[in-house]
Amino acid sequence: MRLLIVEDEKRTAEYLRKGLSENGYVVDTANDGDSGLAMALTGTYDLLVLDVNLPGRDGWSILREARMQGIRIPVLFLTARDLVHDRVKGLSLGADDYLIKPFAFSELLARLQTIARRRADPPVELLQAGDLQVNLAGRTAFRAGARLDLSPRDFNLLSLLMRRRGEVLTRAVILDQVWDMNFDSETNVVDVAVHRLRDKVDGPYSKKLIHTVRGAGYVLRAEGAR
């Protein structure tokens, strides 16, 4: 199994490389965010161990960009960022696990093995709500059999709503997950984006799927959604 470690502390990176190599992994390392992303986007790795605080782009940005590019590599965040908000953010972005430094190597190894076993099962690639289908691997979406013309950001927004369908998402959550921006109560970027997406998803159809919850946010909801 081939594994990429993105860690700016070189002693830690070498410790991980040596220990994981001794346990049968083929290990490459990167010491900054930009080179880490470039290596991750090659699609040749089975696992990614990712720090958050890195020179260049941070770990959040690496994971977000990799997912936008269709790279479904399993990710474990290994970081000193230990706040609940940080752990929630990492998992919400699509990480498979989150381990806080300092750590026991045996625990890291066990977590990587668990991720590998879990990822051996077929991933969920198709989401459906009513007559709306979203193919995560192919980054395509269809409504009543007709393909939707979505920009990359449209698709990311729709994917978020579909993954968390039935849940009211605040503008702050949407900004954080789709734009990686701190919430500014004066900005209307989310409202504009949702309006544009709603025109494409709901415009021609009598049954509307994307709903505004006044004073709260937005939700994708359809009877019989699964």
Say yes or no: 133 and 96 in one domain.
no
Say yes or no: 107 and 150 in one domain.
no
Say yes or no: 47 and 6 in one domain.
yes
For residue 128, list its beta bridge partners: 133
Region 174-185 average pLDDT: 66
| Locus of tokens 């998803």 | 201
> Which of 103, 119, 135 is the last residue before a domain boundary?
119
**Calpha distance 56→35 (Å, rounded):** 9
Residue type for 181, please? Answer: M
Domain membership flag for residue 226: no
Give me the sign of the Cα torsion angle 123, 126, 127, 128.
negative
Domain membership flag for residue 19: yes
Judged by average pLDDT, the poorest of 24-38, 43-57, 92-106, 124-138 is 124-138
**Amino acid 226: pLDDT:** 38
Say yes or no: 14 and 103 in one domain.
yes
For residue range 90-118, list pLDDT tens digits in order: 888 889 999 999 999 999 999 998 888 87
Q: For the chain, how many structural domains are there in total?
A: 2
Identify the band that residue 184 occupies on the pLDDT scale cut at 50, 70 and 90.
low
Region 197-213 average pLDDT: 94
Domain containing 49 — which CATH number?
3.40.50.2300
Q: Is the pLDDT of residue 218 over 50?
A: yes
Say yes or no: 15 and 30 in one domain.
yes
* Residue 107 burial (10 A CB sphere; 0-12, 13-18, 19+): exposed
Domain membership flag for residue 206: yes
Q: Is the pLDDT of residue 215 over 90?
A: no
Q: Do residues 75 and 94 lie in contact, with contact meaning Cβ atoms separated by under 8 Å?
A: yes
Q: Is the pLDDT of residue 185 over 80?
A: no
Domain containing 169 — which CATH number?
1.10.10.10
Say yes or no: 7 and 60 in one domain.
yes
Would you tell me how many other CB atoms lie within 10 Å of the CB of residue 167?
13
**Amino acid 224: pLDDT:** 41
**What does the block give as tokens for 64?**
């977000």
Identify the band that residue 68 occupies on the pLDDT scale cut at 50, 70 and 90.
confident
**Cα distances (Å, whole numbers) of residue 65 to 18, 30, 60, 189, 193:** 28, 16, 9, 20, 19
**Calpha distance 98→198 (Å, rounded):** 34
For residue range 154-171, list pLDDT tens digits in order: 999 999 999 888 889 888
- Domain residues for the domain of 155 are 126-220
Say yes or no: 110 and 21 in one domain.
yes
Say yes or no: 111 and 131 in one domain.
no
Q: Is the pLDDT of residue 67 over 50?
A: yes
Q: Is the pLDDT of residue 180 over 80?
A: no
Going by C-alpha positions, the residue among 169, 164, 225, 226 that lies closest to residue 194 is: 169
Domain membership flag for residue 225: no
Residue type for 44, please? Answer: T
Q: Do residues 55 and 8 lie in contact, with contact meaning Cβ atoms separated by under 8 Å?
A: yes
Say yes or no: 145 and 204 in one domain.
yes
Mean per-residue pLDDT of the chain: 88
Judged by average pLDDT, the poorest of 24-28, 143-147, 154-158, 177-181 is 177-181
Q: Do residues 162 and 169 lie in contact, with contact meaning Cβ atoms separated by under 8 Å?
A: no
